[in-house]
Structure 1
């Protein structure tokens, strides 16, 4: 037996009801990674072995990478096991970090959330008892995690073959107090690892046999990026469903598209759930034509012993294998990026339809609030969406076919899971930018839709009073039918003239309406009366009615009362919580030599308004509104 006596342990979150982290689930990982958490080790139920260097030296046994060289150099032998631990860290701490990176501000470092989560996963793996490390090492890592200490870890350099060697070696370097390893504190101050240990009240650790491998030979970074990418993708998927509901309302669509029957005859679980969620989101909407009346992320990688060799805690036997290759994570990331690309394509199509006056059922080009000849509010958002989608299509390409044989052909097969996870997070970020760009545009479209509906309703009332003298002697029911036909003509001509400037557009409905009225008068053999005065009256009514409606809207927008569940939550989030108001057009441009404010608010570029929404999205401010819109429903849709 080459193993010291076992210790009984398990790790838990410090909470009112502590959760065993011997089995970690996705959501259990997200909170500690993003907002911190408290952890402790309980001496309870798991056997915990570590190597006895004295017995190993006496028996002259050879365990690959434990008392031999590493990887393709396993044909070398040494009895200086402590020095061998240092040699492994020396060879693995080979990532590229510039001075700016080392100060925590560069582009070549792994995000803090990923590093924190990787530390947590690695602790959970080590506590399973198969990795041959001492309990004190895990306790030291948890102490640093509690103190908010995270090493500056290079973003690149791992092929996810013998685990993610370079990223994890910087965790080990922090534990040994390497003065050339940089550590970020909870206050974002960066200092050397030896100083960080001193600040945390922890002593540098001298690694024993196998403990170096136990730390660096694992898949925690790949699993972390995979989990965070799936988490971001799932949030974006929920937001995309909300945006579909909003777009349906802005385009005066039909709730029928999401009728349960459609999914029941093609019962794919994702389709069933998405259509039910969107239909639920549309509840309460006055803009859509209403109906008449988890595939869960399986956290295998989070709870696996992924280093090599590993120890059977029942028999004490040591085995060599290849659990560290992370192929399942890599495959999951490839599929997630393809799903994100499809979500991006959907958002692009919705945005294009919303901005195009030939498709958006009467809204002005580029959903402008003023004259389309001088205002182009969302035109560059439309172009940007094409750029985002093109980049997303590139990112959707698979990473795994680019595997290269490495390390003296010892790592001839690898997964590139960490690289694939990085690109999946990039893809999620691109789709998030598409979401906020579309959210800005669809809020603009909803406001314009309400302005136009309110205007057409007011115009109908005035139309009745002007046409009434021409219909004396008509039966009330017949007269009402004529009013309805005239109103339909006005709406149709209004929707067809969206590309005209306002004054010209307001003249068109009257020109289209008069011939319809004449036809009805002739059909009923009524005495012919000149309709020219009526045409002039309607022309004179239309423009001031619209400007009055729009001015009243600027003061007190009534849009909220028309919206369904999701649209209401997202609209209020943008308009009220973030203060991104209805864009009034060219008057809003900060570069014009006019007042620096519009309705008392500061002028900003369109990019600045969209950036405000994006910042709020990245800070997770929007999700509460979507969860509230879900109500009692539980969204089960997951990407993998």
Structure 2
């Protein structure tokens, strides 16, 4: 397993992707003095006895209540326990782990006032694969992802539940198994661990990384569908896209042109084809998919910045010896990014479903009805297209912008919230739906090309078909379709079609910090 060195404030997107995929983490030792200085500022404030929010006061609407020095440890423990009020299914382990690393990177910027012991506890949990059980519902994405991060923190103090190597158990047992003792939180540490956007950002990044693979795979299936429908590659001409100028559109046009280059199917209808223009789902792929690519890259830039930032409150400025309250916990940037990713998910799936429908329609595709050699006796791809339509519609219903919603909390002290957690959490489910749509398109496009035998597609697309046909044979007569869709969808999720094509395909392309 690879190891990724975390340099707080300088972690590129590629490293966050590797961490989500399971890479081990190490913390740059050069940040430790800055963390220690931040904790010293907190100690100095306590010694003075002046009220400073988050250190020796209550929280939220109770900020005006000063807490005595003898109760500061209890204050931090209480905020963690009281805020662990989430419900619902646990976060997926890879996403929860990513959240922990995001929190580690934020605290290690040295602006949160936590001790090195707290940093080391997070590192130890990650090293020993102790992942908190975090109920995924309960955050409104402002004043931080309080409930989810509280559940993360309870494990550090020996309360709640955790997964150890994937096995669920009590936090106390998990720490014992890992050879760790529960942490006693110091002043401000409970609040520092709870405040922040790491839950929302982890889900948004996970969704982004899944969508990147699906986007690239949809380019492959889109090219294969174009050949199956005997579509034209003229709309992929570089000159068209250079005149408009959008970078995503130009890159998608180049990719599609490259994927289909050398196709004997394409060569067979260059002349004497009475069709003048293809439907938009074929012809406008560079424009639609290119716009999705530009949007995903914009979201990626936002999330990369957020992942490297500090979203705690209040913030400790060691050089000045000051603690300043602000609102970095408000996850509006993450909410907007998640909404953009959701829009791209919808459009990628919508275009893919339209190509499936085109291929199953004998009038548009000039292929046998529903891609079966014996229509009537067999239904062929009739219902897989319906399934794709259902998945696309479900994604559309899920794509209403989360960022435009708000509901006041904490007795109206926190009177505008981002709902970033909702916006980010839906992305994984939407990505699963999209993978199903693209999997069905893969099956349909490969089946369509079968009818053109002995003519073959390009080398890249034939390699993709060969990969599919190793596990899913041509559909001659109706059979149990569910298994075929499951196999194709698994290939899509794993990016196997992208690898099989042998072509470099445009992706997020950021990470240049």
**Same-fold call, TM > 0.5?**
yes
Is 1:182 equivalent to 2:161 in the alignment? yes
Q: Map of 1:408-487 to 2, 5 A cutoff?
A: 408-450=411-453, 454=454
Question: Residue 126 of structure 1: CA displacement?
Answer: 0.8
Confirm or deny: 8 A CA contact 2:230 2:269 kept in the other structure: no
Q: Which residue of 1 aligns with 2:313?
A: 308
Change (3 A) 1:69 1:565: farther
Q: 1:162 aligns with which of 115, 133, 143?
A: 143
| Structure with max Cα Rg | 1
- Secondary structure at the aligned position of 1:39 is classed as strand
**Structure having greater relative contact order (Cα 8 Å, sep ≥ 6):** 2
Is 1:129 equivalent to 2:134 in the alignment? no
Q: After superposition, give the CA deviation of every residue in 1:135-160 in whole Å (9 maximum; x if it has no partner).
A: 12111111111221101101100001
Q: 1:138 aligns with which of 119, 122, 126?
A: 119
Q: After superposition, give the CA deviation of every residue in 1:528-555 in whole Å (9 maximum; x if it has no partner).
A: xxxxxxxxxxxxxxxxxxxxxxxxxxxx
Change (3 A) 1:121 1:58: closer
- Secondary structure at the aligned position of 1:300 is classed as helix
Tell me the TM-score normalised to structure 2 length. Answer: 0.88
Q: Which residue of 2 aligns with 1:284?
A: 262
Q: Which residue of 2 aligns with 1:9?
A: none
Q: Which residue of 1 aligns with 2:473?
A: 581
Question: Residue 133 of structure 1: CA displacement?
Answer: 0.4
Q: Which residue of 2 aligns with 1:345?
A: 350
Q: Map of 1:36-75 to 2, 5 A cutoff?
A: 36-43=23-30, 47-48=34-35, 49-50=38-39, 55-75=44-64
Question: Residue 413 of structure 1: CA displacement?
Answer: 1.0
Structure 1 residue ranges without an equivalent (≥5): 1-12, 98-107, 455-558, 590-604
Question: Residue 273 of structure 1: CA displacement?
Answer: 1.0
Question: Residue 389 of structure 1: CA displacement?
Answer: 1.7
Tell me the TM-score normalised to structure 1 length. Answer: 0.71
- More displaced stretch, 82-91 vs 57-66: 57-66
Q: After superposition, give the CA deviation of every residue in 1:409-450 in whole Å (9 maximum; x if it has no partner).
A: 111111111110012222222111110011111111111222
Q: Which residue of 2 aligns with 1:207?
A: 185
Count of residues in correspondence between the two structures: 477
Q: Map of 1:71-150 to 2, 5 A cutoff?
A: 71-79=60-68, 80-96=71-87, 108-150=89-131
Confirm or deny: 8 A CA contact 1:36 1:148 kept in the other structure: no
Q: Distance in 1 between matches of 2:65 and 2:137?
A: 29
Question: Residue 611 of structure 1: CA displacement?
Answer: 0.8
Confirm or deny: 8 A CA contact 1:25 1:302 kept in the other structure: no
Change (3 A) 1:195 1:223: same
Q: Which residue of 2 aligns with 1:257?
A: 235
- Secondary structure at the aligned position of 2:451 is classed as helix
Q: Distance in 1 between matches of 2:508 and 2:66?
A: 53
Aligned-residue CA RMSD (Å): 2.2
Change (3 A) 1:395 1:44: closer
Q: Which residue of 2 aligns with 1:467?
A: none
- Secondary structure at the aligned position of 1:359 is classed as helix
Confirm or deny: 8 A CA contact 1:277 1:635 kept in the other structure: no
Is 1:357 equivalent to 2:362 in the alignment? yes
Is 1:318 equivalent to 2:309 in the alignment? no
- Secondary structure at the aligned position of 1:236 is classed as helix
Question: Residue 573 of structure 1: CA displacement?
Answer: 2.0
Change (3 A) 1:291 1:304: farther
Question: Residue 320 of structure 1: CA displacement?
Answer: 0.5
Is 1:328 equivalent to 2:317 in the alignment? no
Q: After superposition, give the CA deviation of every residue in 1:51-88 in whole Å (9 maximum; x if it has no partner).
A: 57765454221111321111011122221101101110
Is 1:399 equivalent to 2:402 in the alignment? yes
Question: Residue 33 of structure 1: CA displacement?
Answer: 2.1
Change (3 A) 1:265 1:289: farther
Structure 2 residue ranges without an equivalent (≥5): 271-292
Q: Distance in 2 between matches of 1:289 and 1:358?
A: 22
Where has structure 1 moved over 6 Å in runs of 4 or more? none
Confirm or deny: 8 A CA contact 2:313 2:326 kept in the other structure: yes
Q: Distance in 2 between matches of 1:636 and 1:617?
A: 18
